[in-house]
Amino acid sequence: MIILILAIFSCQNAEQKPIKLIEKDYGLFENENDSIGVEIKLNEFDNWKEILERTERIACNDSLPKLTLKSAAEIKTVYFRNPCWENFGCILIKQKNTIQIHNDTISKSDRFFYPLDSLANVLKKDFENNGKIPSWSVSPEKLIIFISYDYGKMERFPKTLRRVVNEYEKLTDSVVLKIWLNEKFDIPPPPPADWEEETK
């Protein structure tokens, strides 16, 4: 009887110990902290266009839009690096330094298309390329991941974002993950090879 009481008591004590969640932030630079983050609450938006408009407003108020992904063991906060377009006429980004994910289809340099299941391989190839193949990333530090959806299709966004973060953290200890939420737009053809050499 005493043993049974002790067993019940020890179980109750075990239940009372809080589980410590692992918290990770992605997308913050070294000199930044959470005070500039503004949470995007997906249930407040009806479509992708509204999310982009909210992201733009946050960026134009000198803040970073963020989304928190929660599981039983972890809380991962992703800070998006979208610029405030009011302050920029355009931003020159080389296609080879980007991965575009539109409606869960991956594209590289607007010439190579992959299913989302290939994300781990695409990321790895970009990470390890180091400028060897011209259509792939110059370095992991320059890599930007664009995520976009048709305006009516955004249900899979949180799952896709979680997948991007999970695959990224398998490749590096760095948390400076650069993700932009984006509209899908047609990418112009690459510039002539001599122009690209001049801009390196």
The verdict on residue 117 lying in a domain is yes
Nearest to 26 by CA among 63, 68, 70: 68
The verdict on residue 12 lying in a domain is no
Take residue 25 and report the two structure tokens written for it. Answer: 């932030």
The verdict on residue 199 lying in a domain is no
The verdict on residue 140 lying in a domain is yes
Name the residue type at position 11.
Answer: C
3-state secondary structure (DSSP) of residue 78? strand
Question: Residue 63's Cα: distance from chain center in Å?
Answer: 17
Q: How many domains does the chain have?
A: 1
Angle between helices 157-171 and 119-129 (to 10 degrees): 40
Model pLDDT, residue 16: 57
pLDDT tens, 107-166? 987 678 899 999 999 999 999 999 899 989 999 999 999 999 987 678 899 999 999 999
Domain with 34 in it: 21-184
Model pLDDT, residue 164: 97
Per residue, the 3-state secondary structure of 119-156, as one string, reads HHHHHHHHHHHCCCCCCCCCCHHHCEEEEECCCCCCCC
List of residues 6+ apart from 73 with CB closer than 8 A: 19, 21, 22
Dihedral (C-alpha) 71, 144, 136, 167: value to the nearest 10 degrees?
-10
What percent of the chain is modeled with pLDDT above 90? Answer: 59
The verdict on residue 8 lying in a domain is no
Take residue 99 and report the two structure tokens written for it. Answer: 């991965």
pLDDT tens, 166-191? 999 999 999 999 999 998 655 444 44
Nearest to 151 by CA among 118, 181, 176: 181
pLDDT above 80: residue 198: no
Q: Which residue has the tokens 């995520």?
A: 147
